[in-house]
Structure 1
Amino acid sequence: MGVSCGSNFRDTWDRTSDRCSRFFPCFSDPARRSALTLKLALVVLHLVLAGVIFLFDNDLIVKTKQEPWYTAIYVVLFVATLIQYFVTSGTSPGYVFDVQRAIDERDAAARRASFASIQPASSKNDSVSITVDARNYNRGNATAWTKLVMDLYPPGTSARNLTCPYCHFIQPPRSKHCHDCDKCVLQFDHHCVWLGTCIGQGNHCRFWWYICEETALCLWTSILYIGYLKSNISKAWWADIIMILLLATLSISLIFLLLLLLFHSYLIMTNQTTYELVRRRRIVYMRGIPERVYPFHKGVCRNLYLFCFGRSSIYRMEALPTAEELEEKSRPYTCCDILSCRCC
């Protein structure tokens, strides 16, 4: 009897899981399911930290009625932070496969247009395709990506040494294969567990803005908690304990966010990535460069401009600097350089 009930329960559970997987494909993948659970937990944590202060602090409620704009700005920041979180997590970091496919399609379209303009209509033939790793490529397209990427490296570089052993693509400079996403990413920075995605050229700017908004929200919420504790520290001891514990959580989060914001701001101003800074000696194109030289640094102002306004396309790739450019970058700054805005 017990075995029969257990079998019926398992069958019912399996049928329910199949239906959920059919209507919600993200539940069928353990990695996506865990990422979805983490996102849900993060939203709940935001709601709890912001809701508790409005639940306990009567003075804040009175202030909201007298000055509704104060709470309105806080709510707008709260909603904007959550929206920025989901937008950043849903934005492509700039996968090499997508870039290669776009370049190959553009090259194939140019070839077809050129071929159609030369050949008569009766002699047009379909292009021959080959299959590599279960993906179809036009036979002439393989050289378009190879030529483009190899031009970004110094002459004499072997394409075999630049080929990703997992994706089998020739990697452009500053790209790396992410084992969590199982894809190569342009200007790979790191894989963010909280967002459930890589941070790369396509979403690094959105990631910085999310950190900035999250830091401001955490700081504002901490100020509200401190104001409550100053006014109501002796009224209800059990409420004070809850508020102190939540304030401690906010303080730890605020310190982490501030450090993260400063760190990424430094990376942006010097045009570096976390991967290049941490694993500098292990990266092939960074080994022969002195420690204090930033090979992709173009000046603070230009770096900020490219980071904020030059990322409209994730297909922008940077060539490795020449020996003359590296020598110029390694030259120490002087007073004349500062006056001439060389650092900018």
Structure 2
Amino acid sequence: MMIATICRPVRSPWEEPMDRCFRFFPCLADPGRRSSLCLKLCLVTIHLIYAGVLFLFDGDLIERTKKEPWYTALYLLLFVVTLIQYFATSLSSPGYVLEAMLTVNERSAANRKAPETSKNGSYVISTEGNLIARNGSGSYSSSWSKLVADLYPFSIRTWTCTYCNMEQPPRAKHCHDCDKCVLQFDHHCVWLGNCIGQGNHCKFWWYLFEETALCLWTGVLYISYLKAHITRVWWQDAIMIILLITLLVCLVFLLLLLLFHSYLILTNQTTFELVRRRRIHYLRGIPERVHPFSRGVRRNLYNFCCTRSTIYGVEPLPTPEEIEEKSRPYTCLDAVTCRCC
């Protein structure tokens, strides 16, 4: 008994409180989710530090708030909306292939009547179980395998994920961080702790836009303070200058990221397709200046902004005729007829 007591491993004083914490908050037991929560807490803390230091040091801003409360109210409104948009994007579903597959199989088993047809030749899958549609013959796919097979009309086989063994539609990819296949996979955002895909790409763009606007407005307030109080209290000026330099670096990064994703939206591309174009089997042999899934700027914007997050669209591979048409150089007549739109 004494030997067993002596040989028993010594528990750290932190282990028992951590076990209790994991018991009440199971999500903290997962190292990946714990790291994501820490990053989210860090980002919120950074936002609070920038706003808190500004209101703590800048007495002129307080006086302006008393005279023009709408100015500070708008700034605080943008601050709160940005954080809400951040968490809304972080908690939203990127559109997992598993969700689409279960919807298709359940819907096909429950209802065998022919659905409505879409206008662009692609299947439309509603996670609310509303409709599954295809243009042309109005043929009905009773299973996910049949639907995916129809999306590869010029391929001798469909593409199956080697990790989760699921049949992937075009533009889908397996995310190793989430361990799931994502429709129109763009990238996995570490700061959000979530994938960016077809289901939340629009939310992600709006978050970038709001974050960029907030950083720009905060930078203007910091510069205004330094112009008026640059020689008063040196340690306050040093803190403000360090925070301002960091803020400007973040602003440049956010602005470039916002412009980059705006370009992807206008051309109906994803970050993964742009970066790994030569490695993606359905993009090999297509000229780099050709965007095979683009339907024009107006249609791309409409599909991106006006499609509900509960409805996912899976697009078939473009035909050789469509690729040839999109490869044709633009002429003056195309500019008049707005071919790019």
1:222 and 1:156 map into 2 onto residues whose CA distance is 52
- The sequence identity of aligned pairs, in percent, is 67
Q: Pick from 203, 211, 214 the counterpart of residue 206 of structure 1.
A: 203
Shift of 1:12: 5.9
- 1:246 aligned residue: 243
Alignment of 1:29-178 (within 5 A): 29-110=30-111, 144-159=143-158, 162-178=159-175
**1:217-264: CA deviation from partner (whole Å, max 9, x where unpaired):** 000000000000000001111111100000001000000000000000
**Given residue 237 of structure 2, which amino acid in structure 1 is its aligned partner?**
D
2:98 and 2:142 map into 1 onto residues whose CA distance is 15
RMSD of aligned Cα (Å): 2.0
**Given residue 107 of structure 1, which amino acid in structure 2 is its aligned partner?**
S
1:56 and 1:9 map into 2 onto residues whose CA distance is 49
Shift of 1:208: 0.1
Shift of 1:108: 1.6
Alignment of 1:196-275 (within 5 A): 196-275=193-272
**1:132-183: CA deviation from partner (whole Å, max 9, x where unpaired):** xxxxxxxxxx971011011111244213xx1101010110000001111111
Higher helix share: 1
Gaps of 5+ in 1: 115-141
- 2:312 aligned residue: 315
2:154 and 2:216 map into 1 onto residues whose CA distance is 51
SS at match of 2:313: coil
**Given residue 178 of structure 1, which amino acid in structure 2 is its aligned partner?**
C
**Given residue 325 of structure 2, which amino acid in structure 1 is its aligned partner?**
E
Instruction: Tell me if 1:301 matches 2:298.
Output: yes
Question: Is the contact made by 1:272 and 1:296 (CA closer than 8 Å) also made in structure 2?
Answer: yes
Instruction: Tell me if 1:290 matches 2:287.
Output: yes
**Given residue 220 of structure 1, which amino acid in structure 2 is its aligned partner?**
W
Question: Is the contact made by 2:108 and 2:142 (CA closer than 8 Å) also made in structure 1?
Answer: no
2:288 and 2:193 map into 1 onto residues whose CA distance is 31
Question: Is the contact made by 1:201 and 1:314 (CA closer than 8 Å) also made in structure 2?
Answer: no
Choose 306-315 or 259-268, whichever is displaced more: 306-315
1:153 and 1:302 map into 2 onto residues whose CA distance is 23
Shift of 1:8: 10
Give the direction of change, closer, same or farther, for the CA distance of 1:313–1:328 in structure 2 (3 Å limit). Answer: farther
**Given residue 334 of structure 2, which amino acid in structure 1 is its aligned partner?**
D
- 1:27 aligned residue: 28
**Given residue 101 of structure 1, which amino acid in structure 2 is its aligned partner?**
L
Question: Is the contact made by 1:190 and 1:198 (CA closer than 8 Å) also made in structure 2?
Answer: yes
1:9 and 1:37 map into 2 onto residues whose CA distance is 28
Aligned pair count?
A: 310
SS at match of 2:174: strand
**Given residue 258 of structure 1, which amino acid in structure 2 is its aligned partner?**
L
Shift of 1:310: 2.1
Question: Is the contact made by 2:266 and 2:297 (CA closer than 8 Å) also made in structure 1?
Answer: yes
TM-score normalised by length of structure 2: 0.87
Shift of 1:10: 2.7
1:169 and 1:176 map into 2 onto residues whose CA distance is 10
TM-score normalised by length of structure 1: 0.86
1:288 and 1:96 map into 2 onto residues whose CA distance is 26
SS at match of 1:219: helix
Shift of 1:26: 1.1
**Given residue 90 of structure 2, which amino acid in structure 1 is its aligned partner?**
S
SS at match of 2:314: coil
Instruction: Tell me if 1:194 matches 2:191.
Output: yes
SS at match of 2:181: strand
Gaps of 5+ in 2: 115-140
1:333 and 1:289 map into 2 onto residues whose CA distance is 17
**Given residue 92 of structure 2, which amino acid in structure 1 is its aligned partner?**
T
Shift of 1:332: 1.2
Question: Is the contact made by 2:94 and 2:197 (CA closer than 8 Å) also made in structure 1?
Answer: yes
- 2:130 aligned residue: none
Q: Which runs of 4+ in 1 moved over 4 A?
A: none
1:175 and 1:158 map into 2 onto residues whose CA distance is 16
Question: Is the contact made by 1:229 and 1:240 (CA closer than 8 Å) also made in structure 2?
Answer: yes
